[in-house]
Amino acid sequence: MNIPQLPAEGADRARWLKIAAAAWLLLVSVLAVVNSVGLSRLSEQSQASAQDAHVQALNTRVAELEQQSAASKRQPKPVAQPDFEAARKALDERLSQVEQAQAADSRAGDLQARVGDIEARLKKAAAPAATPRRTAEAVKPKAPEPPFSVADLELRGGERFLSIAAPGVAAVRELRLLREGDAIGAWQLQVIEAHAAVFRVDGQTQRIALP
């Protein structure tokens, strides 16, 4: 015959219910602790953020005050009333001197203009009557003909010579050599150029082409 086991099963169920209740309470306690720790951290973070913002604001204010202090130091010092009056008096005296100098220069300029006008009148009165202007231009004198002919250009000892001959002379032994500065009659050799010889005669310059 089987004996009923109901009381034992009820005891086990009660024990399991107690264990479940204890586990539930432990879980709730853990969650509460976790929430408390999280709230504490959030509070600390918010406080730290507020402190950082306050510190940043203080730093900004300090920087503005430093800029204002530097700007006030760069400003010129105020001028005292006696110094201002002395400077204005000196400026007035300087302006007065400048005006007097300008007036003196103006009078001197007027006087100089009058003197110049008088001198011009005196010169005009003392100048002789102008000679009538010539209608015909003076005829230029005809260039004189050279009393020789240019034969050749020779180079001797690094110096250039002009070989000339009298008209009608063809013999080489009768040729004459001229260097710059030499003269034959009234014709003085000035310069020996690459393609011409320049002579000075009767105050005129004559250019004779080289053969």
Considering only CA atoms, which of 10, 8, 28 is closest in space to residue 20? Answer: 28
Considering only CA atoms, which of 173, 171, 191 is closest in space to residue 181? Answer: 191
For the chain, the average pLDDT equals: 78
pLDDT tens-place string over residues 28-82 = 888 888 888 878 787 788 777 777 787 788 889 888 888 887 887 776 666 678 8
pTM over 0.75: no
